[in-house]
Amino acid sequence: MIGAIKEAQKLPFRTFREDSVRVINTCLDGVMVLEPRVFEDNRGFFMETYHRGKYEGKILRSVFVQDNLSHSVRGVLRGLHYQLHRPQAKLLQVIRGAVFDVAVDIRRGSPSFGKWVGYELSEENRRQMYMSEGFAHGFCVLSDLADVVYKCSAFYSPEDERSLLWSDPDLRIQWPVRDPILSLKDNRSPRLRDIALENLPEHEGSDTISSVGRIPLFSSSEQAREDRQIS
């Protein structure tokens, strides 16, 4: 299993718009960065954070059934979490502060098994991150406070929840935090190589419809350059 774990390769990218939503495909099939159109003037701004007619069936196939709000302080790291039998696709956005958001492909049989991508989501860049079912998800907080809102395609199921060690050395996730604030459960999660295959979700193909371009994986040190490139 562990021999399949490799870092995602850097690839060229292109972007496109789908009904006023800029879609940026990442190097992981099933993970996208979305930039909804923002209407801004001297009063402030307005944006659609989700429109079923524009998202569902055109950009992605997930049907969302639950909305969550997570409030955290600087240095908190939550993850890496997934559900096994009731996997959740997620659409995330930060409405206060900034986080480094990470998705890890743990779908057995996936060509990108063990690879990860990470992007900064903030109230300033107003980006969203979408991941399909079968990814482990986590984020760390870069600002004093952060509020993360996200949609899920399946209801939260405590008995079905699983976790993956945030600092798994085989994954080599480049978290931009040294000594994160962790829950006891997250600190004791297993490494990917120690999780039995039957306790990992199965790869069933991508549920993202758009596949025009790719953007590369980058570390926190490359963040500023990458943001300038796709802005």
Question: How confident is the model at residue 47, as a pLDDT?
Answer: 86
Stretch among 12-21, 121-130, 195-204 having the lowest mean pLDDT: 12-21
Q: In whole angstroms, how far apart are CA 68 and each of 36, 56, 62, 105?
A: 19, 19, 16, 22
Question: Where is 186: in which H helix or E strand?
Answer: helix 184-187
- Look up 130 and say whether it is catalytic: no
Establish whether 150 is a catalytic residue. yes
Distance CA(177)–CA(163), nearest Å, equals: 20
Backbone angles phi, psi at 22, to 5 degrees: -80, 125
Higher pLDDT, 53 or 227: 53
pLDDT at 207 over 80: no
Given a cut of 50, whether residue 10 has pLDDT beyond it is no
**Residue 10 DSSP one-character state:** P
Which are the contacts of 82, defined by CB distance < 8 A and separation ≥ 6?
Answer: 88, 106, 134, 135, 136, 137, 161, 162, 163, 164, 201
CA distances in angstroms from 109 to 106, 113, 135, 209, 216, listed in the order given? 9, 7, 13, 20, 22
Lowest mean pLDDT across 115-129, 140-154, 206-220? 206-220
Please check the confidence at residue 132 and state whether its pLDDT lies above 70: yes
Q: Is there a contact between 116 and 8 (Cβ–Cβ < 8 Å)?
A: yes
pLDDT band at 214 (very low <50, low <70, confident <90, very high): very low
Q: Taking all residues of the chain, what is their mean pLDDT, rounded to a whole number?
A: 82
| pLDDT at residue 193, rounded to an integer | 95
37-46, 111-120, 217-226: range with highest mean pLDDT: 111-120
Which residue among the candidates 81, 130, 137, 203 is catalytic per the annotation?
81
pLDDT at 225 over 80: no
| Catalytic residue (choose from 130, 137, 150, 203) | 150
- Mind listing the domains of the chain with CATH numbers? 2-202 (2.60.120.10)
Q: What is the pLDDT of residues 68-125, one digit of tens each?
A: 999 999 999 999 999 999 999 999 999 999 999 999 999 999 999 999 999 999 999 9
Nearest one of 203, 189, 224 to 29, comparing CA atoms: 203
Summarize pLDDT for 42-60 with one digit per residue, the tens. 999 898 888 887 787 667 7
Amino acid at 228: R
Residue 179 φ then ψ, to 5° = -120, 80
Structure tokens at 114: 């063990």
Sort 40 into a burial class: Cβ within 10 Å, 0-12 / 13-18 / 19+. exposed
